[in-house]
Each structure stands twice: as structure tokens, then as C-alpha cells.
């Protein structure tokens, strides 16, 4: 088990917040995976459906991952989880009103993930402020075109949201660990982020 | 003839080629001077002589105007065919959700000199190459000398968006008065209802349909120019799927036989095309509402009537758009109440305000969902449907060693009826029941005096009430126990 390395300028509070965020991410990842499985079954979908054409969902994969600055890393994460909040709310409303109106347990599991995403966004924002990064503006614009979509498109979209959310929860852990990496120059404080914890 | 006035004659010539031939066409009655006309065509027109013989002479001249032949004919009405004027489709509209094509055409006026029966044949065509998918016959009456607008509709087995549909019509007039042969008119020109298979979009139809268990479903996929169709899949894997049938360059359809219940969120049909495109639709397969069962209506307070019923067979259709909506109608007052409680309860309940001076109520509970509707009715006199609420606030007053007065409350204005209340007196041994009759009151309070009690003894009192015969309907629930110990004897 690797010892927690402390970089210059990182306070125990940073580390604690970062640890809590990583723990939350791990829990969320497990919950999202279970939810995705239930979602695919309850919507009568096939997990091998190609979702490439479903747009409007933040994608975790990015070419510039390794060159991103800490501010960009955290900022991208924060914007993604803000978007997921809106998307998960939309999914929950679709399930309640039209697709599975009687499946209250299912709605609760969506709600639970939604709460975790909200908590995650809050913690990431707090971390950015603490690390003196400028917090990106929150785009409150609703996702366009929701009303015209047929139910099948809505189902696919929900599947894509949960798939990408699962990917993001992995990326975010790596992003936070990337913050911990000591940088040769620059005065921006770093944070030591639970390196001792299991991946 | 088309109009029973003019006769169109046409003829053929024996000569191999008609080049340069001309004709002199004459017709007339036996003793009248003929009417003649010259024509290059081998057709001419004459007046219909319904009640006699028309003598026709045709002289054929070659290009040098030399007479090369002369033919005469004797024509009576029986030798002439009546061919109705070709009807024209005036209007072709589509109702996509109902999958119906609605044709409108007009006919009649001078073409129909008197009332007569008419038979219409309507042909529906589609696909590329075009083929007839329906040939339907429709009978109607045509009033004489009156232009009539007729309409007819056809329900398609596939969504109308799947491909372009065409309609054609012809007619046969039952002209009893005409002794010649009667034939069908020509087919009208094609009327066209464009589909969405124009190569400009990729989509599946129908979109989010609701279908009944046991019916055959159809799903079609239209795709874009440059794409190539791969497959249509359906998520209810136990269903009997037909292989895809091509409708046109950019449209294919599959048929699902004898559809069974879908999952709550609906089964999915999806379409895969190359390169890498994908679309789909969801369909909800369930039942129309069953006849509402165990409909029962009662009042506990002469303020409100509560009707309850059971839904019967589950419809397997949920959500605001698809669930069964219930409305309680009362036909005497004309009022109605809509159920807006929980979805799929074991018992549905609706409250209906008691109306002044109305004792008889004719209730009908009407349920409807996208697949159909059903209803049940019940006629009641609310005097015979009193189900008092549970007696409450049992109290003992006028306490003495052998006698008490037991009071309680019963909500609702029960003035209109006589009550019977059963007081259960329990002092450890076998309980004793005291049945008392009381006037219904407005102020909720009732009491009864009980004597022959044993001094200094623990008693447990309970009460329940109902309307007296013949108005009895149901007992109220038993009240809470009222524990009381009588006073000691002096």
C-alpha cells in the first residue's frame, strides 16, 4: 500500500475532500453500473446497441487528456456532472411519467445516482475554489429537442447517459490522481489525493 | 354511351393500314333523312335513339377520295354499351394515427338522370414496382340529377408513412331502364398519398404505438439515400417475426404475428442500416379496459356518495397517455366526476356529491384507454345505501351502580333515515348485544341508556350502527372499546 505523499502547499483539508470525492466516485460507479443493467432490461434494450449517434451527452473520452491542466481537468469534470444532473432529471421524469410509471424502486435508484452526481459536482466545485481555480460558468440551458424525440430515442439516450456516466466516474478518479502528480514548476498548490486507496 | 344521350361509335377497317383513309359516317331513323359527317378518325358520335332502330352507314374513301367500301348497320339500344363517366377522386387525405386513407369524390348531376344504385370499386396500390394491395367494393344510391359527394375510407395494414399509397376508383351504375349492356367505367387517374420513404430521413414507424395483445404488428423503416438496409429487430424475442419485405428503394417492413404483452416500458423495434446508422420505435402491447367489476355506491353521511369498482383484467398499459381513465357519470343530474387517484389500485374510488332532493342515482362508470372503452352501470336509491361511519367518542354519562347512558358520535347528517345500533356489552362472560333504534340526527350525537348492570363491575362497550330494515345496507365498523366500571352499590 503506497504511502500518501504530501506535496508542498496541499492542506489536510484538500486531501480529505479529494479522498471523499474519490470514495464517492467509486460508490457512484458501482451504483451506475447496476442501474445501467436494470435500465437496459427494463427498457427492453440491447446492451450491444450502437449509441454513437446519440448526441448531447458529455463523453468521457478525450484526446487531450494527458496535456490538460488541473483547472481544465476539474472544470471539464464539473461541467460534465452539471450536465449529468440535468440529463438524469430528464431520465427520471421520462420513467415516472411515461415509461415505467409504477416502478418506484427503479425511480429511487435513479434518484440515488442523481443525488450522488449532485454531491460530486458540489465537491468538485469546492475543490476548485480551494485550489484557487476559476469555476466555470454553469450553463442552465435545458437539453434541446427533448419533446420531439420518440420514446425509443429517449430510451437510447438514457442508456447513453448512464454508459457515459460510468465512464466519467473512472476518468474522474484518474483526473483526481493526476492532480496529485508533482509538477516541476508553477506555484499552484497541488493536492495529495488518497493515493493509498485501492484503484 | 356515357350519358344516355350521345353514342360514341368506333369501328375498324379490314385494310392493313389506315393511312390516308377517310370516312363518311351517316345515321338516322328508317324514314328520316340521315345525319352525316366526314371524319379522318374511325370514330364518330350520334344521338342515342332509345326506342327504335338507328340505321348507320359508313363509307370508306382512300387517300385519292375513291370510295373503297360501304357498310350499313342497324343499331338498337341492346347493341349499345353504357359506360359511366369515369369518376374523379376529389380529395385523398390520411389519418396517420388511425392509418386510414379517406377518399372523397363527387358524381351525379346530369350524368345520373334519375335515382339509381351504384357500385364503386376502389383500388389501393403501393410499393415499387407498384402493386394492388386492396380492391374494395362499395355500394351506394345516387339521387337523380343531383351532384353527390361520396366518401369512403380504407384502413391500411401498415403505417401510411412507410411508403406512398395510391388510390383509384371506378363505378358501375345499375341502370335498369337501359337495355344495352352496362359496363364498369374506366379507372380514375391515380390519387397519391406520399409516404416518408423519400430517402431524406431515417426513421421507424409507427412511433410509440399502442396495440392490442393478439393483433399483428407492422414496423417499417425508412432510410436515407446512400444508406443500405441491414435489419429490423424486435425486442420481444418470443414474437413471430416475418422476414423484412421491401416496399421501395428506401423502405422495408416487418410483420409481427399475434403480438403478446409488452414490458412496462414498451417493446422496441429497431432498424440498422449501413453505414452505421440506427433508429427505432417503442410499442406498448396490452388490452382495452375490462368491464368495471363490483361497482358499488354508498353514502355514509348523505353528503357524498362513494362509488368503488375493480378494473378487472389488467390492461398492461401505464402512464398518463396509456392508462385507463375512468369517469363516473350520473345520468339523472347529468353530472360527472373524473377519477384521479392512484394508478392501478386494487379498488378504484370516486366521490360524488349528494344532490338536493335527489334520492335516485343512475351511475355509469366509464373506462377508456387507447385501445377501447367499457362501462358498468348501477341504479341506486341512497336511502338504501347508507353505510354509516365507525361510531366514535364513546362516553359514559349518568353513571350509577346498575344503569348508565352510553353516548357516541356518528358523523354525517343521517336525518333522512332511522338507525339501528347494536351495543355489545361485555363483562367477561358471553357478550350481550342490545339492539336499539334511533332517529338519524343532524348533530352527530347519539345515546342509549343501559340498565340491569351489575354494580362495581368492569364492562367493555362497543357500538356499530346501520340503517334499519328495509333500508339496511351495511353495518358500520365496530367502535373502539369503551372500558367502564359501574359504581359500587350504596
Question: How far is residue A161 CA from its own chain's centroid?
Answer: 10
Residues B283 and B214 sit within 8 Å (Cβ to Cβ) = no
Q: Please report the pLDDT score of residue A17 as a whole number.
A: 86
**Residues A42, B281: C-beta atoms closer than 8 Å:** no
Higher pLDDT, A111 or A146: A111
**Distances from the Cα of B126 to the Cαs of B97, B191, B296, in angstroms?**
19, 11, 53
Report residue A142's pLDDT band, with 50, 70 and 90 as the boundaries.
Answer: low
**Residues A44, B318: C-beta atoms closer than 8 Å:** no
Q: Please report the pLDDT score of residue B201 as a whole number.
A: 94
Please state the rounded mean pLDDT for residues A24-42.
96
Please state the rounded mean pLDDT for residues A153-172.
95
Report residue A1's pLDDT band, with 50, 70 and 90 as the boundaries.
Answer: very low
Q: Please report the pLDDT score of residue B176 as a whole number.
A: 81
Entry pTM: 0.82
Q: Please report the pLDDT score of residue A197 as a whole number.
A: 40
Question: What is the rounded CA–CA span in Å between residue B303 and residue B358?
Answer: 12
Q: In this structure, how many other beta carbons lie within 10 angstroms of the beta carbon of residue B295?
A: 19
CA distance B202 to chain A (A): 12
Q: Please report the pLDDT score of residue A45 as a whole number.
A: 95
Q: Please report the pLDDT score of residue B399 as a whole number.
A: 80
**Residues B270, A49: C-beta atoms closer than 8 Å:** yes
CA distance A44 to chain B (A): 6
Question: What is the rounded CA–CA span in Å between residue B293 and residue B70?
Answer: 86
Nearest to A70 by CA among A170, A169, A167, A187: A187
**Residues B204, A152: C-beta atoms closer than 8 Å:** yes
Torsion of CA B332, B335, B340, B344, to 10 degrees: 20
List chain B residues with CB under 8 Å of A43. Answer: 265, 268
pLDDT digits (tens, 9 = 90+) for B356-390: 889 999 999 999 999 999 999 999 999 999 999 99
List chain A residues with CB under 8 Å of B281. Answer: 150-152
Residues B13 and B42 sit within 8 Å (Cβ to Cβ) = yes
**Distances from the Cα of A94 to the Cαs of A83, A88, A100, B74, B265, in angstroms?**
17, 10, 8, 80, 10
Q: Please report the pLDDT score of residue B110 as a whole number.
A: 66
Three-state helix/strand/coil letters over chain B: CCCCCEEEEECCCCCCCCCCCEEEEEEECCCCCCEEEEECCCEEEEECCCCCCEEEEEEEECCCCCEEEEEEEEECHHHCEECCCCCEEEEEEEECCCCEEEEEEEEEHHHCCCCEEEEEEEEEEECCCCEEEEEEEEEEEECCCCEEEEEEEEECCCCHHHCCEEEEEEEEEECCCCCCEECCCCCCCCEEECCCCCCCCCEEECCCEEEECCCCEEEEEECCCCCEEEEEEECCCCCEECCCEEEECCEEEEEEECCCCCCCCCEEEEEEEECCEEEEEEEEEECCCCCCEEEEEEECCCCEEEEEEECCCCCCCCHHHHCCEEEEEECCCCEEEECCCCCCCCCEEEEEECCCCCCEEEEEEEEEECCEEEEEEEEEEHHHCECCCCCEEEEEECCCCCCEEEEEECCCCCCCCEEEEEEEEECCCCCEEEEEEEECCCCCEEEEEECCCCCCCEEEEEEEEEECCCCCCCCCCCCCCEEEECCCCC
**Residues A151, B276: C-beta atoms closer than 8 Å:** no
**Residues B268, A42: C-beta atoms closer than 8 Å:** no
CA distance A48 to chain B (A): 12
List residues bridging with B8 in a β-sheet. B45
A45 touches chain B (CB under 8 A): yes
Residues B290 and B308 sit within 8 Å (Cβ to Cβ) = no
Q: Please report the pLDDT score of residue B444 as a whole number.
A: 83
List chain A residues with CB under 8 Å of B263. Answer: 42, 44
Among chain B residues, the shortest Cα distance to A149 is held by B207
**Which of A2-6, A54-58, B266-270 bottoms out in mean pLDDT, i.e. has the lowest?**
A2-6
CA distance A50 to chain B (A): 8
CA distance B236 to chain A (A): 8
CA distance B286 to chain A (A): 14
pLDDT digits (tens, 9 = 90+) for B11-45: 887 765 656 889 999 998 877 888 999 998 888 99
List chain B residues with CB under 8 Å of A46. Answer: 233, 235
Q: Which residues of chain B have pLDDT under 70?
A: 15-19, 109-111
Residues A124 and A78 sit within 8 Å (Cβ to Cβ) = yes
pLDDT digits (tens, 9 = 90+) for A46-55: 988 889 889 8
Asked whether the predicted pLDDT for residue A189 surpasses 50, the reply is no
**Residues B266, A101: C-beta atoms closer than 8 Å:** no
List chain A residues with CB under 8 Å of B315. Answer: none
B97 touches chain A (CB under 8 A): no
Mutate to test the interface with A, among B262, B265, B266, B268 (most CBs of A within 10 A): B265
**Residues B265, A52: C-beta atoms closer than 8 Å:** no
**Looking at the partner chain, which of A46, A53, A101 has a beta carbon nearest the beta carbon of B343?**
A101
B329 touches chain A (CB under 8 A): no
Strand order in the sheet with B293-299: B293-299, B304-310, B348-353
What ipTM describes this predicted complex?
0.83
Mutate to test the interface with B, among A42, A44, A99, A153 (most CBs of B within 10 A): A44
Residues B84 and B51 sit within 8 Å (Cβ to Cβ) = no
**Which of A9-18, A28-37, A64-73, B456-465 bottoms out in mean pLDDT, i.e. has the lowest?**
A9-18
Q: Please report the pLDDT score of residue A2 as a whole number.
A: 41
Asked whether the predicted pLDDT for residue A194 surpasses 90, the reply is no
Please state the rounded mean pLDDT for residues A11-27.
86
Amino acid at each position: 500500500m503506497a504511502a500518501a505523499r504530501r506535496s508542498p502547499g496541499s492542506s489536510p483539508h484538500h486531501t480529505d475532500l479529494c479522498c471523499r470525492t474519490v470514495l464517492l466516485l467509486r460508490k457512484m460507479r458501482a451504483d451506475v453500473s447496476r442501474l445501467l443493467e436494470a435500465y437496459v432490461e427494463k427498457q427492453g434494450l440491447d446492451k450491444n446497441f450502437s449509441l454513437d449517434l446519440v448526441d448531447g451527452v458529455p463523453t468521457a473520452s478525450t484526446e487531450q487528456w494527458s496535456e490538460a491542466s488541473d483547472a481544465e481537468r476539474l472544470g471539464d469534470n464539473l461541467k460534465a456532472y452539471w450536465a449529468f444532473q440535468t440529463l438524469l432529471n430528464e431520465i427520471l421524469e421520462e420513467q415516472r411519467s411515461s415509461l415505467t410509471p409504477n416502478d418506484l424502486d427503479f425511480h429511487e435508484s435513479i434518484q440515488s445516482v442523481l443525488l450522488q452526481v449532485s454531491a460530486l459536482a458540489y465537491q468538485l466545485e469546492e475543490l476548485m475554489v480551494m485550489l484557487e481555480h476559476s469555476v466555470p460558468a454553469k450553463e442552465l440551458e435545458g437539453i434541446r429537442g427533448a419533446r420531439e424525440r420518440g420514446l425509443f430515442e429517449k430510451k437510447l439516450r438514457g442508456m447513453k447517459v448512464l454508459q457515459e456516466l460510468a465512464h466519467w466516474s473512472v476518468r474522474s478518479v484518474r483526473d483526481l490522481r493526476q492532480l496529485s502528480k508533482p509538477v516541476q514548476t508553477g506555484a499552484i498548490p497541488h493536492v495529495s489525493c488518497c493515493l493509498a486507496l485501492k484503484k | 354511351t356515357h350519358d344516355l344521350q350521345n353514342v360514341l361509335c368506333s369501328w375498324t377497317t379490314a385494310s392493313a393500314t389506315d393511312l390516308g383513309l377517310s370516312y363518311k359516317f351517316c345515321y338516322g331513323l328508317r324514314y328520316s333523312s340521315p345525319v352525316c359527317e366526314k371524319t379522318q378518325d374511325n370514330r364518330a358520335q350520334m344521338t342515342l335513339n332509345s326506342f327504335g332502330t338507328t340505321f348507320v352507314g359508313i363509307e370508306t374513301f382512300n387517300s385519292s377520295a375513291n370510295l373503297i367500301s360501304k357498310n350499313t348497320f342497324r343499331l338498337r339500344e341492346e347493341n349499345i354499351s353504357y359506360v359511366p363517366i369515369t369518376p374523379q377522386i376529389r380529395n385523398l387525405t390520411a389519418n396517420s394515427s388511425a392509418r386510414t386513407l379517406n377518399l372523397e369524390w363527387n358524381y351525379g348531376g346530369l350524368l345520373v338522370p334519375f335515382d339509381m344504385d351504384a357500385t364503386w370499386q376502389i383500388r389501393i396500390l403501393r410499393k415499387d414496382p407498384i402493386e394492388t394491395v386492396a380492391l374494395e367494393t362499395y355500394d351506394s344510391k345516387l339521387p337523380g340529377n343531383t351532384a353527390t359527394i361520396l366518401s369512403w375510407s380504407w384502413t391500411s395494414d401498415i403505417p401510411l408513412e412507410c411508403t406512398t399509397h395510391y388510390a383509384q376508383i371506378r363505378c358501375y351504375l345499375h341502370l335498369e331502364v337501359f337495355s344495352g349492356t352496362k359496363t364498369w367505367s374506366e379507372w380514375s387517374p391515380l390519387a397519391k398519398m406520399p409516404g416518408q420513404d423519400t430517402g431524406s430521413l431515417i426513421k421507424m414507424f409507427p412511433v410509440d404505438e399502442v396495440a392490442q395483445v393478439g393483433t399483428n404488428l407492422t414496423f417499417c423503416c425508412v432510410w436515407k439515400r446512400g444508406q443500405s438496409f441491414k435489419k429490423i429487430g424486435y425486442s420481444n424475442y418470443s414474437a413471430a417475426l416475418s422476414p423484412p419485405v421491401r416496399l421501395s428503394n428506401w423502405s422495408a417492413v416487418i410483420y409481427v404475428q399475434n403480438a403478446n404483452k409488452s414490458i412496462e416500458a414498451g417493446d422496441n423495434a429497431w432498424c440498422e442500416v449501413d453505414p452505421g446508422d440506427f433508429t427505432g420505435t417503442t410499442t406498448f402491447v396490452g388490452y382495452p379496459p375490462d368491464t368495471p367489476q363490483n361497482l358499488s355506491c354508498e353514502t355514509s353521511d348523505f353528503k357524498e356518495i362513494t362509488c368503488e369498482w375493480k378494473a378487472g383484467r389488467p390492461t398492461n398499459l401505464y402512464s398518463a397517455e396509456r392508462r385507463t381513465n375512468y369517469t363516473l357519470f350520473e345520468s339523472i343530474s347529468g353530472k360527472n366526476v373524473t377519477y384521479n387517484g392512484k394508478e392501478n389500485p386494487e379498488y378504484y374510488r370516486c366521490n360524488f356529491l349528494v344532490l338536493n332532493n335527489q334520492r335516485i342515482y343512475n351511475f355509469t362508470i366509464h373506462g377508456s384507454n387507447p385501445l377501447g372503452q367499457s362501462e358498468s352501470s348501477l341504479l341506486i336509491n341512497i336511502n338504501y345505501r347508507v353505510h354509516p361511519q365507525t361510531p366514535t367518542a364513546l362516553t359514559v354519562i349518568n353513571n350509577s351502580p346498575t344503569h348508565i347512558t352510553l353516548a357516541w358520535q356518528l358523523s354525517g347528517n343521517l336525518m333522512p333515515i332511522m338507525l339501528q345500533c347494536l351495543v355489545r356489552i361485555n363483562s367477561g362472560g358471553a357478550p350481550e348485544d342490545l339492539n336499539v333504534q334511533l332517529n338519524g340526527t343532524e348533530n352527530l350525537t347519539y345515546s342509549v341508556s343501559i340498565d340491569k348492570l351489575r354494580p362495581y363491575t368492569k364492562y367493555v362497550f362497543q357500538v356499530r350502527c346501520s340503517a334499519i330494515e328495509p333500508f339496511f345496507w351495511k353495518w358500520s365498523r365496530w367502535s373502539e372499546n369503551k372500558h367502564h366500571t359501574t359504581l359500587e352499590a350504596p
